[in-house]
Amino acid sequence: MQSEHISGGSTLEEDRRFLSLKTFHSAGRGPWTGELDADWNDWRWQMKHRITSSAQLQRLLPTLTSEELAGAELTNHKLALGITPYFFNLIDSEAPHCPIRQQVVPRAAEAQIAEWELSDPCGEDDHSPVPGLVHRYPDRVLFLVTDRCAAYCRYCTRSRLVSNASGYDFHPEYDRQIAYIAAHPEVRDVLLSGGDPLLLSDEKLENLLSRLRAVPHLEFLRIGTRIPIFLPQRITPELCAMLKQFHPLFMSIHTNHPRELTTEVRTALERLADAGIPLGNQSVLLKHVNDDVTTMRALVQKLLICRVKPYYLYQCDLIAGSAHLRASVRRGIEIMRELRGHTTGYAVPQYVIDAPGGGGKIPVNPETVLSHNADRVVLRNYEGRVFEYPEAADAGPIRRARKIEEYEFI
């Protein structure tokens, strides 16, 4: 049976690896053992003490390779180098392929740009009616709040603007962004992203959310953020109490490897969930980071323990200088095949490719419908067994245009 190595017949070594990936640990203090608790647990202290230069990296990471050092030296012109002390402590300095290290420590390979790679791989700038707003889908917009993040992911799809190391000079204009939304009643969903919206102070974020909530046709708000992972100290009770006023408010976090889910992160996520914020996760499929089923299964199961629903698994965008981090679509489909049916349905994300050039997110699924005609559908289940479902007759064309009043709450 194809699935043997993850269900009954896994090797002892794989079992051990799986269990150790699923365990929650604290990031610890590492080189910052002497700091006061009050400082270490203060998100502004963490931001102030970020690792941002090749000299700091050399000092703190004795196993830094010449390839990484060369990568760090590129970052003044490309995506900046930035790692919070908290997240730095998750790096296993003895392991050259440490999955945490590969996400945030630059490498010289970032300078190698393949001909199909782009600085704006999803064509966001072409779908931008006003600066900082991307209106690609009919009923929702992406609202870029800032170009700063707590730490910088080497495969960032928005590295053209994020951190401003390439001179993009991003200046969000909230007034114009909000005016556009207010003038477009078809927009019912706003996704705040960036950069990381949770880097704003509570006051600034509250002000922005209030202005959005004042737009009567906005039904749904969400925040895309990696702060719970890079900087869990930012998820304070005060922040949660503020966010709670703006329901329905969802949050999409971003984590790629189960070791990112520490006890600190779990506490932060529980706080958000207790504030009534439904949590989803977005992962990027990355070579040598999470492109194997053991790692991915540990990640999605650990997310459920933290009350987070795995939402999307992204094929890595064709961002300039990211070839060394991109896993194949074939591998992505294989992993999805080993998740569906083998673990809790809630744990299974949707695998998507954000189409190059601006086609939006396109689902990519393992083949389960083997054939489909007027009489029957032939299906393959998670064990590879084949089943038939007799096709039903439809009543007529799909009913679309119901009056919107029929759906109002009374």
Ligand X SMILES: *Cc1c(COP(=O)(O)O)cnc(C)c1O
Residues catalogued as catalytic: 136-137, 140, 149, 153, 156, 158, 317, 354, 361
Contact characters 216-235, ligand SF4, x per CB under 6 A: ----------x---------
153 binds ligand SF4 (CB under 6 A): yes
Q: Which is nearer to ligand X, 31 or 359 (CB)?
A: 359
Q: Which window, 113-121, 183-191, 192-200, 286-294, contacts ligand SF4 (CB under 6 A)? A: 192-200
Which of 79/108 has CB closer to ligand SF4?
79
Q: Tell me if 43 contacts ligand SF4 by CB under 6 A.
A: no
Output the CA torsion sign for 336, 118, 144, 100: positive
The nearest distance, CB 285 to ligand SF4, in angstroms, is 14
Smaller CB separation from ligand X, 141 or 208: 141
The nearer residue to ligand SF4, 181 or 198, going by C-beta atoms, is 198
Residue 188: contacted member of ligand SF4, ligand X, none (CB under 5 to 8 Å, by partner type): none
158 binds ligand SF4 (CB under 6 A): yes
Length of the chain (residues): 410
**Residue 142 interacting partner from ligand SF4, ligand X, none (CB closer than 5 to 8 Å by kind):** ligand X
78 binds ligand SF4 (CB under 6 A): no
At which residue do the structure tokens 């990568």 appear? Answer: 71
Q: Is the Cβ of residue 152 or residue 351 nearer to ligand SF4 in the bound state? A: 152
Each as own residue / partner, the long-range contacts of residues 339-345 (CB below 8 Å, 24 or more positions apart, any chain) are 339/293, 339/296, 339/297, 339/300, 340/366, 340/382, 341/381, 341/382, 341/383, 342/3, 342/6, 342/7, 342/297, 342/382, 343/297, 343/300, 343/301, 344/301, 344/304
- Candidate residues 80, 122, 149, 187; the one interacting with ligand SF4 per rule CB under 6 A: 149
CA 186 to the chain's CA centroid: 26
- Within 10 angstroms of residue 328's Cβ, the number of other Cβ atoms is 12
156 counts as binding ligand SF4 under rule CB under 6 A: yes
Binding residue for ligand SF4 (CB under 6 A) from 18, 88, 143, 152? 152
In the complex, minimum distance from the CB of residue 155 to ligand SF4, in angstroms, rounded to a whole number:
7
Angle at 313 between CA 267 and CA 292, to 5 degrees: 90
Chosen from ligand X, ligand SF4, none, partner binding at 234 (C-beta under 5 to 8 Å by type): none
Q: Which residues bind ligand X (CB under 6 A)?
A: 134, 136-137, 140, 142, 191, 361
Which of residues 83 and 347 has its CB atom nearest to ligand SF4 in the complex? 83
One-letter identity of residue 355: A
Determine phi and psi for 264, rounding to 5 degrees. Answer: -65, -45
Binding site for ligand SF4 (CB under 6 A): 149, 152-153, 156, 158, 162, 194-196, 226, 254
